[in-house]
């Protein structure tokens, strides 16, 4: 969605957080022309959308940016601390608030009538296996666009990782995203809480905290039930008699418990996806001074780095918007002067 729009006077200060010594100059600059605001997302990749965007934008200081990250946007387009060209939300919580400031009527995309952050969690599973076996493997997150299928999460670490992934794909599952993750003991205990009184509980916890494991986000119609069937029984004494199941064919044989875990229900699956592959979006602002061609190049770079542009508008940021952006500085000596200046 694209449109040109002038923000009203109830929208301006709460977002940008400049140093007090450059405040007046910054305000004059921000009031000098229109800014392009956009909501961007990396979907359910398991990556932090805010952190990834801030890395691509780089330091607020263009000189430091050119020294430390010469390909970042501030290094390429920034002039000084004020004319650095860009702003992005610092955290996911800030992003939610700032999106509402700039885009008060924005609603998340919907798939089949469901909000995009709810829809993919209808089916999912989690799988863990032998963390030591993927310790030296470098993994890049990746995504495949196809909203027509349901999704699933697998958490895995195993002795023959590539063969295991191939087997999953050959059984009709689509691997959408993957990332490594190192569990804390309490996280594994929570995952296996229903087995807390079983003999396998302590060995399970020990098996999954020894190093990084791999999370896979997979997609397929009826994914949870189909993956549970392919995974096989939970106890080794049972799945060891079932060739063709994932645990029988790929599980670690040197320990007494399974090292591949799958969510046992849609409810479990949704909770696990929300924990490890949450849907995230954030706000970015391209400040005044850049040409249309430069802005077009910037959005192309964001797309190439895995970001989806969910909404974009060109606006003249008013005093009240900046006031909301700078709300964290309320009470500081310069804050009232700042508000008065913007009035």
Summarised one tens digit per residue, pLDDT across range 146-175 is 444 555 555 544 447 888 889 999 999 888
- Residue 38 pLDDT exceeds 80: yes
* Residue range 287-307: mean pLDDT, rounded: 86
Provide mean pLDDT across the span 21-50. Answer: 69
Whether the predicted pLDDT of 290 surpasses 70: yes
Distances (CA, A) of 183 to 159, 205, 206, 258: 18, 9, 10, 16
Question: What gap in Å lies between CA 318 and CA 295, rounded to an integer?
Answer: 21
Query: Sorting pLDDT into bands at 50, 70 and 90, what band is 27?
Result: low
Q: Which of 179, 170, 191 is nearest to 260 (CA)?
A: 191
335 or 214, greater pLDDT: 214
Q: Averaged over 233-262, what is the pLDDT?
A: 90
Please give the structure tokens belonging to residue 169.
């794909």
Give me the half-sphere count of Cα atoms (radius 13 Å) on the Cβ side of residue 167. 17
Q: Mean of the pLDDT values across residues 223-228?
A: 90
Per-residue pLDDT band at 232 (split at 50, 70, 90): very high
Q: Which residues in the chain are classed under CATH 3.30.70.141?
A: 114-276
Do 257 and 203 contact (CB within 8 A), yes or no? yes
Answer yes or no: are the C-beta atoms of 215 and 154 closer than 8 Å.
Answer: yes
Chain mean position to CA 142: 12
Residue 216: predicted pLDDT = 85
Q: What is the CATH number of domain 114-276?
A: 3.30.70.141
Give CA–CA dist 134/213, Å, rounded: 7
Distance CA 283, CA 127 (A): 33
Provide φ and ψ at 317, rounded to 5°: -70, 120
Torsions phi, psi for 191 (to 5 deg) = -65, -35
């Amino acid at each position: 969605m694209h449109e040109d729009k002038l923000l009203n006077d109830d929208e301006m200060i709460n977002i940008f957080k400049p140093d007090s010594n450059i405040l007046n100059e910054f305000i004059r600059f921000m009031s000098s022309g229109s800014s392009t605001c956009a909501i961007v997302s990396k979907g359910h990749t398991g990556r932090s959308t805010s952190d990834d965007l801030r890395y691509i934008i780089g330091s607020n200081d263009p000189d430091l940016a050119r020294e430390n990250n010469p390909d970042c946007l501030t290094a390429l387009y920034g002039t000084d601390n004020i004319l650095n060209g860009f702003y992005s939300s610092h955290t996911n919580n800030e992003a939610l608030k700032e999106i509402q400031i700039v885009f008060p009527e924005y609603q998340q995309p919907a798939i089949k009538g469901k909000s995009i952050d709810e829809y993919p969690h209808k089916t999912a599973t989690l799988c863990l296996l032998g963390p030591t076996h993927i310790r030296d493997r470098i993994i890049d997150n990746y995504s495949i666009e196809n909203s027509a299928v349901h999704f699933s999460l697998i958490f895995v670490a195993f002795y023959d990782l590539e063969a295991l992934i191939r087997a999953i794909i050959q059984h009709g599952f689509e691997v959408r995203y993957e990332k490594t993750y190192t569990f804390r003991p309490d996280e594994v205990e929570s995952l296996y809480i229903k087995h807390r009184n079983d003999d396998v509980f302590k060995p399970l916890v020990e098996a999954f905290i020894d190093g990084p494991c791999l999370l896979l986000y997979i997609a397929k119609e009826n994914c949870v039930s189909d993956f549970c069937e392919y995974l096989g029984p939970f106890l080794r004494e049972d799945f060891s008699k079932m060739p063709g199941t994932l645990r029988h064919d790929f599980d670690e044989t040197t320990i007494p418990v399974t090292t591949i875990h799958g969510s046992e229900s849609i409810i479990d699956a949704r909770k696990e996806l929300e924990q490890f592959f949450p849907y995230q979006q954030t706000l970015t602002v391209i400040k005044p001074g850049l040409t249309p061609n430069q802005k077009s190049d910037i959005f192309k770079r964001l797309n190439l780095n895995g970001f989806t542009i969910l909404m974009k508008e060109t606006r003249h940021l008013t005093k009240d918007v900046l006031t909301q952006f700078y709300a964290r500085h309320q009470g500081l000596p310069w804050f009232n002067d700042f508000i008065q200046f913007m009035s």
